[in-house]
Structure 1
Amino acid sequence: MTTARSTVVVVTWRGARHLTACLDALAAQRSPHRALVVDNGSTDGTAELLAAHPSAPEVLRLPVNAGYAGAMAVALHRVRTPFMAWLNDDAAPDPGWLGALEAALDRDPAAAAASSVLRAPDGRVQSSGVRLTADGHGADVPRATEVFGFCGGAALLRTEVLRAAGGVPAHYFCYYEDTDTAWRFRLAGRSVVAVPEATAVHLHGASSAPGSAPFHRWNERNRLLTLLRCAPGRVAARELARFAAITAALPLRRAVPDAANFRVPLRLRVLAEVLRGLPAALRVRRAAGDARARARVWRDWAGR
């Protein structure tokens, strides 16, 4: 029997409506693997679904919802294979998905991670990986031969490289844990590769609500924390000051966009959480590469 080289970690939270498709697709993979499902305290029948599924995945049930990042951080402690795959519970990979990702990392020893192509059910490409914008956002790239980072919805990472880079930022809860991780890989001199032949169908937003207040809170907070952890100092200071200035100016504006990320209480909460997280972010910053590495990564990737 061929030894599994990858542990595929699926994080779920109230995913009973779409989890079966994910598990079925995982069971159909041509590459041998270990499956580990982290259930974030679901109360919708997910536990019963997992117990009844014929693939009999290993299940780690958390007492509370730790978010995607928190669950991945817990799962990392249980991974004993050379590779760790991140897979959303609303993603259904093609049978050759895992094998293609493993082959890509085999071909490129310098690559720390391999990113998949995520497609909507209608075939539209959602993401081939992540790019870094000129103001430090991580943004999905629909089609690309080169990517700054991987999309955490379906990717393969080298386990020991991930541990050496500091693991998964559990306190992010969700969003930007992939961009932050890829950025730390880059600071360590590693690369991330796009693998166009590794594809998965993804029900975008099935487990979260893009555009909601929690979405914007996590998204804005984690972007700023990622900049403080990984970006050149001038960039991190500029973006934090810009966020604060816009927040201060919003009450003076007559017309304000009707979006959650323009609500002053939410933005003040983001600033408070970023300030509370500043000491920890600076500790990561000191460990994740020097000023020259931060300048090099920013110069090579920001705004591409």
Structure 2
Amino acid sequence: MTVTYDAEGLVRTCLDSLGAQRLDGLRMQVVVVDNASRDATARVVADEYPEVRLVRAPRNLGFAAGNNLALRDVRSRYVVLVNNDAVVAPDAVRALVRALDDAPDDVAAMAATVLLAARFRAAGPDEQDAAGVVHGPDGRWVPDPEGAVRLVNSTGNEVRTDGFGQDRGWLADHARHAPGPDVFGFSGAAAVLRTSALRDVGLFDESFFMYYEDTDLSWRLRLAGYRVEHCPGAVVEHVHAASAGEGSDFFRFHDARNRLALLTKDATARTALRALARYVVTTASLAVRRRRWDLVRTRVRALASYGCMLPGLLRERRRVGRAARVPRARVEDLLVPATRGYTYRS
């Protein structure tokens, strides 16, 4: 299943890769949710991919509600989520499904190995600090269409002790990245979910629109006693931030607001309040010390929107807490230390 909006070229590539899957006897129905695209996306899917089930949303519902529009009707044991800017390797769907088949019942999701679609080579001595060089945990890399190095986008989602979410393995050399199977959560870019677990904890939180909705669902799964694992053999290439540019005002707004919303719903009160206090202090610092008024305006808008959401978030917090089978503090034992970030701009 994939959700798309104004992405005619991207969705063709994605659907072609899904059509080329080697399923080895498995049956798969591809579903595309078109979020009222203004371009020819819906027509392309309907005309060129008649085997695909097209669900037309009445307006742009975002990633969370767009997925839910189709998830409510899913009757299969599993559902595979794939971003519209992803290319799925021919054996990836089979690998995800077989891995979840073989996993214990408490594994609610399997995260795929998501690689950046771009290719890279090692930066030379005179290129270490050049513009466009990617700084990763294993070295510095230069984008090169002929390069042999593949960098990791995600092998699942992590949450840091300061409340920020991050992709596990971000910008690591794929050849050297060998994480353990257990990971805090799945990335909505590519994963398989157990539908019985979704019926247990609920679907994506539609108030998030997009960003952090996969981490919120993963956290709720953890609170309900489920686990998430990584399937290394399911490889997907992802055009990072193709649908909504990272660093844009749209991204910053939803990323900031939804992180606070996530913690308010799912984290311990201490973690949520510390993150909120840090957010306010950082915003003030950007205004007083750095005079980054563009960032300040976005952060203030995000905080105001979060404030409007707060009554509903607190109701959800109580509901999630009543349904939890695992204490919030125990789930937070899975959070990872906050470390330096690594940079890449596509």
| Distance across 2 between alignment mates of 1:54 and 1:277 | 39
| Ranges in structure 2 where 5+ consecutive residues have no aligned partner | 120-149, 170-176, 339-346
Supply the AA of the counterpart residue of 1:71.
Answer: G
1:135 — aligned with what?
162
| Ranges in structure 1 where 5+ consecutive residues have no aligned partner | 1-8
Supply the AA of the counterpart residue of 2:165.
Answer: G
Aligned-partner SS, 1:248: helix
Deviation at 1:292, TM superposition (A): 6.2
| Distance across 1 between alignment mates of 2:326 and 2:87 | 40
| Distance across 2 between alignment mates of 1:256 and 1:139 | 27
Deviation at 1:166, TM superposition (A): 2.2
Aligned-partner SS, 2:9: coil
Where does 1:1-304 land on structure 2 (aligned, <5 Å)? Answer: 9-29=1-21, 30=23, 31-54=26-49, 56-108=51-103, 109-121=105-117, 122=119, 123-142=150-169, 143=177, 144-145=179-180, 146-253=182-289, 255-256=290-291, 263-289=295-321, 293-303=327-337
| Distance across 1 between alignment mates of 2:326 and 2:114 | 34
| Distance across 2 between alignment mates of 1:280 and 1:164 | 20
| Distance across 1 between alignment mates of 2:325 and 2:336 | 16
Aligned-partner SS, 1:95: coil
Supply the AA of the counterpart residue of 1:297.
Answer: V
| Distance across 1 between alignment mates of 2:36 and 2:285 | 40
Aligned alpha-carbon RMSD (Å): 1.8
| C-alpha contact 1:136 1:302 (8 A) present in aligned 2 | no
Deviates more, 1:222-231 or 1:95-104: 95-104
| Distance across 1 between alignment mates of 2:335 and 2:285 | 31
| C-alpha contact 2:108 2:221 (8 A) present in aligned 1 | yes
| C-alpha contact 1:91 1:201 (8 A) present in aligned 2 | yes
What CA deviation, in whole Å up to 9, does each residue of 1:198-238 have, x standing for no partner? 01111111111110001000000111100001101001011
| Distance across 1 between alignment mates of 2:93 and 2:220 | 23
Deviation at 1:49, TM superposition (A): 0.9
| C-alpha contact 2:225 2:326 (8 A) present in aligned 1 | no
Q: Which structure has the larger Rg over C-alpha atoms?
A: 2
2:122 — aligned with what?
none
Deviates more, 1:88-97 or 1:117-126: 117-126
| Distance across 2 between alignment mates of 1:192 and 1:44 | 36
What CA deviation, in whole Å up to 9, does each residue of 1:252-299 have, x standing for no partner? 21x3468x5xx2221111111111111221222222245961000102
| Distance across 1 between alignment mates of 2:49 and 2:325 | 51
| Distance across 2 between alignment mates of 1:83 and 1:173 | 23
Aligned-partner SS, 2:30: strand
Moved over 4 A (4+): none
| Distance across 1 between alignment mates of 2:287 and 2:239 | 37
| Distance across 1 between alignment mates of 2:270 and 2:206 | 26
| Distance across 1 between alignment mates of 2:325 and 2:96 | 32
| C-alpha contact 1:72 1:170 (8 A) present in aligned 2 | no
Q: Under a length normalisation based on structure 1, what TM-score does the superposition of the two structures give?
A: 0.91
Deviation at 1:103, TM superposition (A): 1.5
Supply the AA of the counterpart residue of 1:25.
Answer: S
Deviates more, 1:83-92 or 1:241-250: 241-250
What CA deviation, in whole Å up to 9, does each residue of 1:105-135 have, x standing for no partner? 1222110111001112223221111111121
Supply the AA of the counterpart residue of 1:136.
Answer: G
Deviation at 1:248, TM superposition (A): 3.0
Deviates more, 1:43-52 or 1:171-180: 43-52
Deviates more, 1:122-131 or 1:227-236: 122-131
Aligned-partner SS, 1:49: helix
Aligned-partner SS, 1:32: coil
| C-alpha contact 2:116 2:152 (8 A) present in aligned 1 | yes
Q: Residues 271, 41 of structure 1: CA spacing in aligned structure 2 closer, same or farther, 3 A cutoff?
A: same
